[in-house]
Amino acid sequence: MHASRFFRPAIAWLLLGSLLATPAAHAARAYKAPERVRIEVVDRDTGSAAQPVSHRGDSWIAGTPGAPYAIRLTNTTGARVLVVLSVDGVNAISGETAAPSQTGYVLAPWQTTEITGWRKSHDDVARFEFAALGDSYAARTGRPDNVGTIGIAVFGERVVPQIAVPRPTFPPAAPAPAAARSRPSSAEAVASESPSPDMRAQTQRIGTAHGAREWAPVSSTAFERATRSPIQVTTLRYDSIDALVSRGVLPRQRAWAQARRPEAFPGGFVPDP
């Protein structure tokens, strides 16, 4: 994957086969388009991907303070794409307050990669960890307003026509949880449900911390955006399980089932504190 913070426009970085790119154009409002990049949040302790739950037009996942996570990106097209990644409203490469026109990762055709942290250099990242709101990177740098969001803005590449890479077979997306299927669609939720005073008063409980440094090499690549506006914008929201129960996103019984249970023998070696 490639990144482009330290390069002029049209330059990008490559991380484990993906790329990052510098701003090539200012982004306007995104139009409705098919999903070009699939985004998943993966618990690095268990390897499982969080299953989003739809509520009032938003997609929510639950996080556990102290748990490291990765953001898995899958390019579902036969062409390269640029993905600008925002965590808590902060660009995960440059550390700037996020905007679609900024640097991002470039994914090769059909590529899947996992972003494990805030980029610190071409060689390493500070890993993503769920943490108390005050310990989040965004809050510690004076930008707490957008904590609890993970988003991507996707751009196609301006290229000379060429033979497309054959499409591989992807596993089907996991079905929506029963709780999500029983709720109205996003459009219906806007029309039929207005936030109650209690919902508006609720505050975010967890964010993403600036964790331990990890080796995650990248290289640079050139990337010219085909359009000024992203062809896809996707946002996930997250909070603690208790907070999602309070918001009405999760029923209490399901929250208990999702809660992490302590284990006497979780395996592995002794990590650094």
Q: What is the pLDDT of residue 138?
A: 96
Is the pLDDT at 145 greater than 70? The verdict is yes
Does any domain span residue 270? no
Amino acid present at 166: P
Asked if 24 and 102 touch (Cβ cutoff 8 Å), the reply is no
User: Which of the 8 DSSP states describes residue 2?
Assistant: B
Does any domain span residue 51? yes
Instruction: Give the chain's domain count.
Output: 1
Domain that holds residue 50: 11-159+173-258
Does any domain span residue 267? no
Does any domain span residue 268? no
Asked if 178 and 251 touch (Cβ cutoff 8 Å), the reply is no
**pLDDT tens digits for range 85-126:** 999 999 999 999 999 999 999 999 999 999 999 999 999 999
What distance in Å separates the CA atoms of residue 270 and residue 260, rounded to the nearest whole number? 20
Q: What is the pLDDT of residue 183?
A: 38
Does any domain span residue 24? yes
Compute the average pLDDT of residues 167-182: 57
Does any domain span residue 164? no
Does any domain span residue 165? no
What is the pLDDT of the chain when averaged over all its residues?
A: 79
Does any domain span residue 168? no
What is the pTM assigned to this prediction? 0.71
